[in-house]
Amino acid sequence: MDFDLTDEQRSIAETVREFVDRRVLPVAQENDINHYLDMGIIEGMAELGLLGAPIPTEYGGSGLDYVCEALICEEIERGESAFRTLISVHVGLNSLSLLQYGTEEQKQKYLVPMAQGEKLGCFGLTEPAAGSDVAAMLTTAIKQPDGTYLLNGQKNWISYATEADYELVFAKTDPKGGHRGISAFIVERVWDGVEARRIPNKLGIWAGSTGELFFSNVQIPAENLLGEEGGGFKIAMHSLDQGRFTVAAGAVGVIRACLEASTTYANERHTFGQPIGKYQFVQDMIADMVLGYETSRLLVMQAAWKKNRGERNTRETSLAKWHATESAFNAANLAIQVHGAYGYSAEYPVERYFRNSRAPMIYEGTTQIHKMMQAEHALGYRKMNG
């Protein structure tokens, strides 16, 4: 495993870092407080090719490797979690699934405009009664005599549900088939019977968008079935591998943001005639952030290395997601403590990092799900990387 970045990888990181410093950070606090989704920033991300970074150029993407994708997510979430969340659902969960399982016609119609940033995509898996237990979903897509599917049901906690043009939706084509009864479909938001609503009053990621999807007798053409009928569970697990990778990489950015904010404050804030950074208790908290950053980044890069080699990386990506998201929340908690009372105020960004870092320990596999996966690998209950 080579830890040296290529010239291209360094250039990508520097370009995105400059974009975040110029476009994201100056308005991050204001947008967060006002619960404002800044579509101008998303347009800027599209112009840089970030909404199709790992998608091959033949399908409108930038053709970048997964180390570049990790660096992009780290830099973007150093600025604001809402925009890394978009990369997770639009690129990781949706676009890369179309790349892997879509027909050539589906790729040309849906993947190309998404990779170019002309259209946005979201991912419809979670339901009110089906989160970690995917097979418990109640949404159905029943095949009709003319070959179309009739979609009915509800999805919730869907990032960018109200903005996405295309939705990757999972539904039971065989309601009694358990995991084998799930299929995946490409759904257009403009179709009759499709409704999207925003979810208000979230704990964090106020500058982003989270919503619900409702389907009432939506007619899905047969050509919008992704993969094979009954193959939806396999597609969903592939999708989550991609999304979890971007979540882990973004969490590295949160840790770095907390570390940068805390070291700056610890050097500027004086008590009893010296910077608070001179005190061992403060140094202990700074050291914990350093440890979280370095270990999380190494785990993300290990997963990226395997992805670039085309190797199965479910176990490595799971480990990176679990460790990095927990480390990010810990770093944000410590950053508030370093800042003291100011850390509890929107005058400094660390309270935003704290709120935003909580959700990633829940979505795309809770901490407990990832612990179970790692334990089952160690015990031999799961196939290696299965």
How many alpha carbons fall within 13 Å on the CB side of residue 100?
21
Residue pointed to by tokens 């509800």: 154
Q: Which residue, among 165, 67, 53, 65, has the nearest Cα to 115 in the 3D structure?
A: 53
Q: Is 21 helix (H, G, I), strand (E, B) or coil?
A: helix
Non-local (6+) Cβ contacts of 325 within 8 A are 247, 248, 251, 357, 360, 361, 367
Residue pointed to by tokens 């993300």: 300
Task: State the amino acid at position 184 in one-letter form.
Answer: A
Choose the catalytic residue: 77, 326, 351, 364.
364
Residue pointed to by tokens 């403009």: 190
Alpha-carbon distances of 187 from 140, 161, 164, 165, 216, rounded to whole Å: 13, 12, 10, 9, 13
The Cα 284–Cα 331 span in angstroms is 12
Whether 364 is catalytic is yes
Q: What is the DSSP string of 77-117?
A: HHH-HHHHHHIIIIIIIIIHHHHHH--HHHIIIIIHHHHTT
* Active-site residue list: 364
